[in-house]
Amino acid sequence: MSLPFNPNIPEAASLHRLDGRVEVENSFRKVFAASRVASDAAGPHIVPERTRVQQFGDTAVATFEFQRHGASFGRRSIVLSRRAAGWKIVHIHASNID
């Protein structure tokens, strides 16, 4: 699993690609913890909008946008692969527009 680059996300552990489950999981834990603090645990920090899931055999691509602070918004693309144990994330791309 890889997560390419985290521009404009101060809580991200690295601005470089994260390789492997451990690196990705550690990075997401930090971002989610900061998100809970920022939202005062009042609910999700990200509310997906304009969601779309496209399946191509054993591969699927999910995309969505969400509002960020001010007039900013984020875009996410998640690529999943169907494995014997179920659907697994194999790639995530994150970009933010200020």
Q: Per-residue pLDDT tens for 68-95?
A: 777 788 899 999 999 999 999 998 888 8
pLDDT above 60: residue 13? no
**So what's the pLDDT on residue 49?**
93
Number of domains, the chain? 1
User: Do residues 1 and 93 make contact, with C-beta atoms less than 8 angstroms apart?
Assistant: no
User: How many CB atoms within 10 Å of residue 6?
Assistant: 19
pTM of the model: 0.70
Distance CA 13, CA 10 (A): 8
**So what's the pLDDT on residue 2?**
47
Distance CA 86, CA 98 (A): 36
Per the model's pLDDT, the better-predicted residue between 12 and 88 turns out to be 88
Domain hosting 13: range is 2-97
Task: Please name the residues in contact with 29: beta carbons below 8 A apart, sequence gap of 6 or more.
Answer: none
CATH number of the domain encompassing residue 64: 3.10.450.50
Task: Read off the pLDDT of residues 19-61 as tens digits, 9 standing for 90 and up.
Answer: 888 888 887 787 777 766 665 555 556 788 999 999 999 999 9
